[in-house]
Amino acid sequence: MLSITLILFTSIFFTGIILRTKSIASGRKGPGILQPVKDVIRLFKKGAIYSSTTSIIFRIAPVIYFSSVIMACLVVPFGLYKGIVSFDGDFIYFAYILALGKFFSIISAMDTGSSFEGMGASREALYSMFAEPAFFILIGSFALLTGNTSFYDIFSSLHLGSSITYMLGGMAAFVLLMIAMIENSRMPMDDPKTHLELTMVHEVMILDNSGFDLGLILSAGYLKFAMYGAIIADFFLGGLSLYWALPLFLGIQLLFAVLVGLIESFMARFRMSHNPQFILALSSVSFLIFLGVLLVLEKFV
């Protein structure tokens, strides 16, 4: 219960911190930290408009997408505290419950009959497919290192006690940071502020969503950022008591948000053809982590 509460709390400020960082980096005053939440509240008060060409899929997809993110958050532990849902192999459940929400968001975009939204859906599916191996190799490597297959058992028994394991933790944080950027369609893979349909990915998928439905989609994005930040924090919380784990968790979430803002401020967007190459390269980094685990376990012959 503590984990989901902290994720919900940090998601309120996460996107606002990103926007504030980008504003400071560009020399602007920018919006307040709570402005994204105010925008979502305003959308929740509005009704949704549906095209006559859409079916029931388009109407239920935002709810399923938001629900899938909530269900994934329930699996994430916090230090010595389990997530509400915890069982052996729960990281597989985590990946595929998110994939279910992504699937419905993709077919929802195709349901509109728009060629632009179909194009964005195709790109979204491609990027998610390329990011999936990196996640499984990463978590599978730490499952091998600890001998456990659930998030809670992996993180609670993971002790970064040597220079190699600290290096593995840092590389894992980098991979999860990039996966979070891919899953949330942010720079350098996608630009959430662009209005050019030919270069849009996620934003072109939700052009037909409005009102309450759009609020759900935006809220899910805020939660996913905080959720991945919580997983990164779990790599370093270990067996710390709540007195030390709580400020460290909040500090890592703050650092994560600032890093995202700095990346989006100082890193240009990749050419569309280079995105698959970069995303596949993350699997190579995850494979290096796997080799590092084999080195730690002295599995090399």
Instruction: Indicate whether 301 belongs to any domain.
Output: no
Instruction: Indicate whether 47 belongs to any domain.
Output: yes
| pLDDT, mean of residues 176-198 | 80
Instruction: Indicate whether 284 belongs to any domain.
Output: yes
Name beta bridge partners: 81: 78
Does the CA dihedral 66-69-74-80 come out positive or negative?
Answer: negative
What residue numbers bound the domain in which 146 lies? 2-296
Q: What is the pLDDT of residue 300?
A: 62
Q: Model confidence over 157-166: pLDDT tens digits?
A: 887 766 777 7
Domain count of the fold of the chain: 1
Instruction: Indicate whether 50 belongs to any domain.
Output: yes
Query: How far, in Å, CA of 69 to CA of 100, rounded?
Result: 10
Please state the pTM of the whole predicted model. 0.91
Q: Model confidence over 192-227: pLDDT tens digits?
A: 777 776 777 878 888 888 889 999 999 999 999 999
Two tokens, residue 189: 């893979």
Q: What is the pLDDT of residue 169?
A: 83
Query: How far, in Å, CA of 3 to CA of 161, rounded?
Result: 25
Two tokens, residue 248: 């460290």
Per the CB < 8 A criterion, the answer to whether 278 and 187 are in contact is no
Q: 267: closest CA among 190, 184, 197?
A: 190
Angle formed at CA 39 by CA 16 and CA 76, multiple of 5 degrees? 55
Q: Model confidence over 239-288: pLDDT tens digits?
A: 777 788 899 999 999 999 999 889 888 887 878 778 888 888 888 999 99
Two tokens, residue 7: 């994720």
